[in-house]
Copies of this chain bind each other. A is one copy, B any other.
C-alpha cells in the first residue's frame, strides 16, 4: 500500500462493486435462502465466545483486505449466525423468511434514503402513508395518523408522550415538573418496554401502576378501575392505559371493550400494545381477539413479527386527526423542513418523529402485501393458529408434555417433564428440579444446533418453554419434530 491506493476502495468502480455484490448475493442465496431454511441443516453452530472471537478475527486494522478475503468474511459471519429463517427456530416472536419482504429490504438498503422529506424519499413518503392507512383500516379507523418506529418499545413510548402532551401541551416546553404527578396503567403481563419508557420519558417507573391479570394473563378491568381510584386517592393524575393484545409470554389478549369503557369513564388515553397480536386483525376468524381495538387512541403493531416483514417494521397508529404527532414532536428545523419549497410541505413527514434520519420500513411490508394480497396474509395467520392447535393436540397424546394453559394465540407454553420427574409432582423439590430442565434442554439443543425454543419462569411457575408458531413455512412435521426432539434430548433427564 506504499502507493497510497487501497486494493479494495472500489469507489466509483461499479464493475468491481457488481462483482463483489454478486459473490455475496450468491452466498446469501445458497447459505441462507436454501440451507438456512432447510430442516436438515442446523439452526445454529454454537461456539463459545472466545472461540468465536478467534474464528471471526474481528479486529479492525489499518490495512485493507482483498475481495476474496471479504467474501470469506461474509461466509464466516453467515456460518456462525443463528438462522432465524430456519423451520426449527421457535425462539422469538419473529422467524421465517419472506422472499418478497427480503427483496423489499434489499431494494431499501440499496436506495439508502431517509424517510424525512418528499424531496429525498418521494416514493416512500407516499408508500408509508398508504401502508399506514391500510393498517388503520384494519383497526376500523377511516382516518388518523401514524408512523413507523424503530421497534415496538419506541412505539409504546410515542403513545405515552402523545397522551401526556394531549392532556398537558405545556409539558413539551416546561417539562414534567410543571405537571401534577401522572399515573399510567398496564397489566402485570405487559411488555417491559412500558417500564423502560416511563423511565426514559422522565415519568419514572413508579408512575406505572400494574393492574392484575387473570389466570390466563388478561388484564382484569375491575382491578384497573380499582387502581385508578387508588392512584387518584394518592394524588396522582391518571392519563393513560396501555392494554396488550398478545402478551409476550402467554400470548394473552386484554379485554379491550371493557378496558375502553373504563378509559371512557375516566377520560384516559387508551393505548393498545398490539406489537405481537396486531397481525391477527388480518384474520376474519380470529380478529375477535382484538374486539374493541377501534376504540383505542393509539396502537403499536409490529408486522415484523407474525407477518415476517423483517426487522424492523413497527407501526404506531393514531386515531388523532389534529396533527398531534407533529405538534408534539415537531421542531421545525429550517435546514430540512424549509417552508418555501416548491411542493406541498405537508409531505415532509419527518418532523412527526423524534428521530431525524429515519429508515424506510414500509417497502418490505408493502411489497409482501402486494405479492400475498390480504388473503394470503390472512391465510398465514389462520395457518399459524391451526398449526398451534395441531401441536397442542399432539402434545396431549404424549407423556411428559404438560401445558401451562390452553393457548389462545400461537404461544404454546408447556413443561417438558423428563422421565425422572414423571409422577413426582407431589415431591417437595419437584418444582426446583423442573426449573432446571428447560435450561438444560436449551443448552443441549443449541450445542447440537437442532432447534431453538425459548423458556422463562413466570410468576410462581418454574421455567417452562414458550413455543412460538409463526414462521409461515412451518408444517405439522415441524411440530412433530419439536416434540420428538425434546423427548430425544431429555430422555436421560
B100–A10 touching, CB < 8 Å:
yes
CB-contacts of A412-455 with B (<8 A): 435-436, 439, 442-443, 446, 452, 454-455
**Chain B residues near A204 (CB, 8 Å)?**
171-178
Cα A179 to Cα B98 in complex, Å, equals: 49
CB-CB nearest 10 A-B residue pairs? A202-B202, A175-B204, A64-B373, A17-B99, A150-B150, A6-B376, A12-B473, A335-B456, A342-B443, A58-B130
**Chain B residues near A294 (CB, 8 Å)?**
none
Q: Which of the residues B83, B161, B177 comes within 8 Å of A177, measured between beta carbons?
A: B177
A338–B455 touching, CB < 8 Å:
yes
Cα A31 to Cα B435 in complex, Å, equals: 55
B367–A56 touching, CB < 8 Å:
no
Q: Which of the residues B107, B198, B310 comes within 8 Å of A77, measured between beta carbons?
A: B107
Query: Which B residue sits closest to A24, measured CB to CB?
Result: B103
A372–B84 touching, CB < 8 Å:
no
Q: Which of the residues B70, B356, B436 comes within 8 Å of A193, measured between beta carbons?
A: B356
CB-contacts of A335-350 with B (<8 A): 335-336, 338, 340-344, 347
Query: Which B residue sits closest to A22, measured CB to CB?
Result: B29
Q: Is the CB of A389 closer than 8 A to any CB of chain B?
A: no
Q: Is the CB of A200 closer than 8 A to any CB of chain B?
A: yes
Once A25-B106, A200-B201, A204-B171 are accepted as A-B contacts, the answer to whether A356 and B192 lie under 8 Å apart by CB is yes
Q: Which of the residues B59, B63, B107, B334 comes within 8 Å of A457, measured between beta carbons?
A: B334
Q: Which of the residues B56, B249, B363 comes within 8 Å of A123, measured between beta carbons?
A: B56
B111–A17 touching, CB < 8 Å:
no
Cα A159 to Cα B25 in complex, Å, equals: 38
Query: Which B residue sits closest to A358, measured CB to CB?
Result: B151
B10–A99 touching, CB < 8 Å:
yes
Instruction: Given A64-B370, A340-B439, output 4 extra A-B contacts at Cβ < 8 Å.
Output: A6-B373, A48-B343, A172-B205, A334-B457
Cα A379 to Cα B5 in complex, Å, equals: 9
* 14 A-B pairs with C-beta separation under 8 A: A6-B376, A12-B87, A18-B34, A49-B344, A53-B126, A70-B103, A70-B367, A77-B123, A81-B113, A102-B112, A175-B203, A176-B176, A202-B203, A338-B455
Q: Is the CB of A152 closer than 8 A to any CB of chain B?
A: yes
Query: Which B residue sits closest to A181, measured CB to CB?
Result: B177
B374–A106 touching, CB < 8 Å:
no
Once A112-B97, A344-B49, A443-B342 are accepted as A-B contacts, the answer to whether A107 and B84 lie under 8 Å apart by CB is no
A56–B127 touching, CB < 8 Å:
yes
Q: Is the CB of A295 closer than 8 A to any CB of chain B?
A: no
Q: Is the CB of A226 closer than 8 A to any CB of chain B?
A: no
Interface size class of A (residues with CB under 8 A): 35 or more
Cα A161 to Cα B14 in complex, Å, equals: 43
CB-contacts of A1-23 with B (<8 A): 1, 4, 6, 8-12, 14, 16-18, 20-22
B109–A154 touching, CB < 8 Å:
no
CB-contacts of A76-114 with B (<8 A): 77-78, 80-85, 87, 91-92, 94, 96-100, 102-107, 109-114
Shortest A135–chain B CB gap in Å is 9
**Chain B residues near A388 (CB, 8 Å)?**
none
Q: Is the CB of A277 closer than 8 A to any CB of chain B?
A: no
Q: Which of the residues B25, B99, B111 comes within 8 Å of A84, measured between beta carbons?
A: B111
B99–A105 touching, CB < 8 Å:
no
A372–B105 touching, CB < 8 Å:
no
Q: Which of the residues B94, B102, B120, B379 comes within 8 Å of A109, measured between beta carbons?
A: B102
**Chain B residues near A122 (CB, 8 Å)?**
44, 46-47, 49, 52, 80-82
Q: Is the CB of A386 closer than 8 A to any CB of chain B?
A: no
A60–B369 touching, CB < 8 Å:
yes
Shortest A469–chain B CB gap in Å is 14
B354–A60 touching, CB < 8 Å:
no
Cα A191 to Cα B333 in complex, Å, equals: 9
The proximity string for A residues 170-199 relative to B, scoring 1 for CB distances below 8 Å and 0 otherwise, is: 011111111101000000000111011111
